[in-house]
Amino acid sequence: MNPSTTSELSLYQLTQTTEPHLSPLIVSASTFREWVDTAIQFLIDEEIQATVWAKLPPNSRWWTNLENYYQEGLPQQIYRCTISRSGGTAPSRHGSHTAYPSQDNFTPIVLETNTQLRREHFCLILSPQLCCLILAQEQISADEDPPSGLLEPTVLKGVYSFNPTIIQKVLSGIKHLITITDTTPVEVLGESVLAFPLPSTMDATLLTKLWSRCLLPRSSVNPYNLPETSQPLPPKNLTLGEEFLKPLTTELSTPLTNMKTALRLLESKQHKRDIRQRYIDLLKKECDRQNTLLTGLQELLQLNQSLNDAEPIVHLEEVVPGIVSTYQAIAEEKGIMLGYTIPPGFPPVACPNVWLRRILQNIIHNSLKFTPKGGRITVQAALKSEGVEISVADTGMGIEQSDLPKLFDSFYRGRNTLNRDIEGVGLGLTIAHHLIEQCGGKIDIVSQVGKGTIVKVVFQESSD
């Protein structure tokens, strides 16, 4: 291939031009490696035969799980991608074992010399049961040296996807970058690299198992490196247990069942046009529901990142105004008055900035969904004996008293919302509740049907 035509091709940028849009996460190298290791270990444990394309740093620890996967005799093929050396020569299968200790077991693929691609690392998993993309781009400023390929001190922008369309697009991009050498396998030069179709829908049980792996607590002691006497203790990574994962299986399975039913009925030519349109509308609705659910799960994974680089405390007057302002346009469009009152000089609260933002965003978003035109939403802060209280009060539709104890259950939606055209899968308050508990805080909801709802969150004061 002609390098001049592809020198600016970036696989990361390719994922940013797709629909649905992949939101990047700022992660450390260790977090990115955990993503890759978790995915490969999952293939081993579930005995999934897959084709893997990987471009990873040369350190042996990045390739250990792939080597284990190979030793299990499971992979259909493992393609180890590297950047072309000067002159376009390919690294030998029997080259230095210092760089790639397991290279003899992998099929080498040489990619064109590309400044963008040098900053990018990926693991692409392809099988009839599961397809997955994990990709990261090094964030290097203009005055820094070029990437070394070791990653360790580097900040990364990471994305991941289980969407077959996006994954096929990235695979096509990789194939476009291949430099043909004497070791290039013939099968990767054809129109199709795969001897099987990628799954059009993900197996709900398989996806649930994988997500449970991603949400397992990581071993970390005192992640903020604070003295053991610091009070309150910093929050650990977000963990979700069986009470979340069991309903997740049902929530993933239901839209798939509905879509399969609609497709089967559409195959019948006996139905009239209006009935067929009804089934098409059902398919669109269930696809949107599935997409909303996956977005919520992606949010959970983002919040479950290592918090080593996060501030363990936050000042309300520095955060709340910005959060409220992001929702002002939506409130004005709906004819709702949205405001806040945060007195100056409040003590900082013991909650990471990114978690506090997500907590308030989820609560305010709920208020906007359930408050009609002409309503009001007010965010306030007050000092209480047990800590700093943040309240979000609205004049919305209110919540049935019998529903209040169930609001924090995963995927639960109140009975008075089921017959209304209100989007959502019931994860917002679940996420907020988990984050608040991880911070050592409390959440309470008071509501009256037809009058409105007040959500009160109490955080511990930070001694810093």
Kindly state the average pLDDT of the residues 242-259. Answer: 55
CATH architecture of the domain covering 316-459: 2-Layer Sandwich (3.30)
288 vs 96, higher pLDDT? 288
Range with top average pLDDT, 241-250, 299-308, 385-394, 422-431: 385-394
Q: What is the rounded CA–CA span in Å between residue 410 and residue 412?
A: 6
21-31 per-position pLDDT tens digit: 777 888 788 88
Lowest mean pLDDT among 50-54, 184-188, 306-310, 337-341: 306-310
108-150 per-position pLDDT tens digit: 999 988 778 888 999 999 998 888 999 999 876 444 444 445 5
* Residue 90 pLDDT: 44
pLDDT confidence bin for 345, thresholds 50/70/90: confident
* Residue 142 pLDDT: 40
315-333 per-position pLDDT tens digit: 898 889 989 988 898 899 9
* Residue 270 pLDDT: 67
Q: What is the rounded CA–CA span in Å between residue 454 and residue 392?
A: 6
* Residue 423 pLDDT: 54
pLDDT confidence bin for 362, thresholds 50/70/90: confident
145-180 per-position pLDDT tens digit: 444 455 544 578 888 888 888 888 899 889 888 888
In terms of phi and psi (left: phi > 0; alpha: psi -120 to 50; beta: otherwise), the region of 335 is: left
pLDDT confidence bin for 233, thresholds 50/70/90: very low
* Residue 40 pLDDT: 93
Lowest mean pLDDT among 60-74, 221-235, 238-252, 419-433: 221-235
Print the SS3 string covering the chain. Answer: CCHHHHCCCCHHHHHCCCCCCCCCEEEEHHHHHHHHHHHHHHHHHCCCCCEEEEECCCCHHHHHHHHHHHHCCCCCEEEEEEECCHHHCCCCCCCCCCCCCCHHHCEEEEECCCHHHHCEEEEEEECCCCEEEEEEEECCCCCCCCCCCCCCCCEEEEEEECCHHHHHHHHHHHHHCECCCCCCCHHHHCCCCCCCCCCCCCCHHHHHHHHHHHCCCCCCCCCCCCCCCCCCCCCCCCCCCHHHHHHHHHHHHHHHHHHHHHHHHHCCCCCCHHHHHHHHHHHHHHHHHHHHHHHHHHHHHHHCCCCCCCCCCECHHHHHHHHHHHCHHHHHHHCCEEEEECCCCCCCECCCHHHHHHHHHHHHHHHHHHCCCCCEEEEEEEEECCEEEEEEEECCCCCCHHHHHHCCCCCCCCHHHHCCCCCCCCCHHHHHHHHHHHCCCEEEEEEECCCEEEEEEEECECCC
Kindly state the average pLDDT of the residues 280-293. Answer: 71
Residue 456 backbone phi and psi in degrees, to 5: -115, 125
Q: Which fold has domain 3-200?
A: Endonuclease; Chain A (3.30.870)
* Residue 98 pLDDT: 40
Count of C-beta atoms within a 10 Å radius of residue 417: 17
Domain assignments of the chain as residue spans, ordered by start: 3-200, 202-218+231-307, 316-459
446-457 per-position pLDDT tens digit: 999 999 999 999
* Residue 89 pLDDT: 44
Q: b/e string for 176-199 if b means 16 or more Cβ within 10 A? A: ebbbeeeebeeebeeeebbeeebb
Q: What is the rounded CA–CA span in Å between residue 38 and residue 56?
A: 15
Share of the chain above pLDDT 90, in %: 23
Kindly state the average pLDDT of the residues 70-88. Answer: 81
Structure tokens at 168: 């096929």
* Residue 255 pLDDT: 59
Kindly state the average pLDDT of the residues 391-400. Answer: 93
Q: What is the rounded CA–CA span in Å between residue 50 and residue 124?
A: 10
Q: What is the dihedral of CA 461, 462, 463, 464, to 10 degrees?
A: -150
Using alpha carbons only, give the angle 107, 37, 226 rounded to the nearest 5 degrees. 145
* Residue 462 pLDDT: 76
* Residue 8 pLDDT: 67
